[in-house]
Amino acid sequence: MKQLNRETPFAYPIRFAQFGEGNFLRAFVDWQIDLLNDRSGLNAGVVVLRPIPRADMPLLDSQGGVYTTLIRGLNEAGEAVKTYRKISCVQREIDIASMYDDYLAVARNPELRFIVSNTTEAGITTNDSDAYADVPPASFPAKLTRLLHERFLHFSGARDKGLVLLPCELIDHNGDALRAAVKHFAAQWSLGTAFDIWLDETCTFCSTLVDRIVTGYPREEIGAIEAELGYHDQFLVTAEHFYLFVIEGPAWLADELKLAGAKLNIKLVDDITPYKQRKVGVLNGGHTAMVPVALLAGLESVGEAMNDADVSGFLLDALHEEIIPALPLPREELTPFAADVLRRFRNPYIHHRLESIALNSWSKFAARVLPQLLTYQTKNGVLPQRLVLALAATMQLYRGGVIKLADDPSTLAWFEAGWQRVAQGECSLHELAKQWLANAVLWGRDLNTVPGLCEAVASALEAIGQQGMRKVLAALTSKQPAVV
């Protein structure tokens, strides 16, 4: 079988430098750049910058920068679809540690305009140890500062040589965080007032929200896929059908990225906050509320949960009756997004184990579900029954015996001791709930001040323990069959 490689000379000007060679950027950002080149004439090439050396992973150059994406899932009509695409917008990959001169040469390219990054949530950090003379500095923001200063020096501070930065790290206000980190190293290295002004006045740091499940290299299916394609591709990457790229930035970016007419789900907005609230509340919140309920109902995967009438009914009612009404966004915006979320959960090509999603359940519940639970109670004067059940189900899950629990050691130790006291008759379910709800470090407040919450959680715990999750769900789920 032949090896995939570039068949025609690379013809795009390099307009994007990309920190990160991983699956996500290749199946999300590069995939969209490739489509923009075809659909709207963006005419942009990409140089990939490998921030951390990996001896076990060859450079994209070994295939001429070309690789295949396999996009599959349920489309807007609920039909299973899959699409192959050869991505040709990547010119080369530079290993920063071993090719540092090539790395700095990227900064001197007059056509460079955009910097994209995905260096994990821990990537945008600062320290006092990285030095300007390091080859290279250790942290991503220090590497970036060095590249930006090289560009500033080479073009003598020219105002038309500033860059647009599009960080994709999964942290709030990632553009602001990256700007602050660059400013930290600029000050630490005493790079001067002129460089500081150039950063402020010519470089645009955009915050972004990225959303796509990228499942990576399909190791178990690769034989059948390559037989279908007719070539070998060691960089093939799979991803779901759904994607969303929200950029908080100036209106002129739409022209530079040639978004008009491209028909891509890229949104250029003044304020990213509503989109963040929508994603965290509906997608992440729906996941987090469903997982403990599904596990206690004896299920193992998201797909099983979505094909289970009891659990899918619980999720549908939780979304439409309790989560969506508590979000500060119009229902007409949230309902279609919820429909997208449910299709994504039903994607037959993705096997998401519930146990994996249950990792660090408590911090997820506090961030993703609790705000809607409290808002619903404040607006309606009553508690949302399904979100309360999800809270109790998570507590029950931490009794142990269902899955291998993975969380902060102090949380695991607290529940182990608490459930042992309950088993020995030294503590009631009400007292256990009261003590856990009082954890102001986790919740940000003592939740015992929420009227009726402790009693409702204790009652739900008792029902789960005595009746089992199936009977509890039967009492909650709508009499009408849920349409998922």
pLDDT score recorded for residue 480 = 43
Distance CA 253, CA 262 (A): 14
Inter-residue contact 484 to 320 (CB < 8 Å): no
Taking only the tens place, the pLDDT of each residue in 263-317 is: 999 999 999 999 999 999 999 999 999 999 999 999 999 999 999 999 999 999 9
Burial 82-115, CB ≥16 within 10 A → b, else e: eeeeebbbbbbbbbbeebbeebbebbebeebbbb
pLDDT, mean of residues 101-107: 98
Inter-residue contact 108 to 146 (CB < 8 Å): no
Which has the closest alpha carbon to 258: 87, 25, 15, 66?
A: 15
Residue with tokens 């008792």: 462
DSSP string, 101-130: HHHHHHHT-TT--EEEE---TTSS---S--
Please report which confidence band the pLDDT of residue 479 belongs to, taking 50, 70 and 90 as the band edges.
very low
First-residue to last-residue Cα distance in the chain: 42
Which has the closest alpha carbon to 145: 97, 198, 102?
A: 198
Taking only the tens place, the pLDDT of each residue in 87-103 is: 999 999 999 999 999 99
Please report which confidence band the pLDDT of residue 362 belongs to, taking 50, 70 and 90 as the band edges.
very high
Strands 207-211 and 244-248: what pairing?
antiparallel
For residue 328, whether the previous peptide bond is cis, meaning omega lies within 30 degrees of 0, is no
Please report which confidence band the pLDDT of residue 482 belongs to, taking 50, 70 and 90 as the band edges.
very low
Write the CB contacts of 86 (distance below 8 Å, at least 6 apart in sequence). 4, 66, 67, 68
Our CA dihedral for 253, 258, 260, 265, rounded to 10 degrees, sits at -80
Distance CA 314, CA 322 (A): 11
Distance CA 137, CA 141 (A): 9
User: Which residues, listed in sequence order, are joined to residue 257 by a DSSP beta bridge?
Assistant: none
Distance CA 17, CA 15 (A): 7
Distance CA 214, CA 223 (A): 19
Taking only the tens place, the pLDDT of each residue in 366-390 is: 999 999 999 999 999 999 999 999 9
Query: How buried is 449 (Cβ within 10 angstroms: 0-12 exposed, 13-18 middle, 19+ buried)?
Result: exposed
Please report which confidence band the pLDDT of residue 120 belongs to, taking 50, 70 and 90 as the band edges.
confident
Which has the closest alpha carbon to 461: 482, 443, 437?
A: 437
Describe the strand order of the beta sheet including 80-87 as a list of residue ranges. 80-87, 67-74, 237-240, 214-216
Q: Which of 112 and 55 is assigned the larger pLDDT?
A: 112
- Which tokens go with 436? 């856990």
Q: Which of 246 and 408 is assigned the larger pLDDT?
A: 246
Residue 481 has pLDDT above 50, yes or no: no
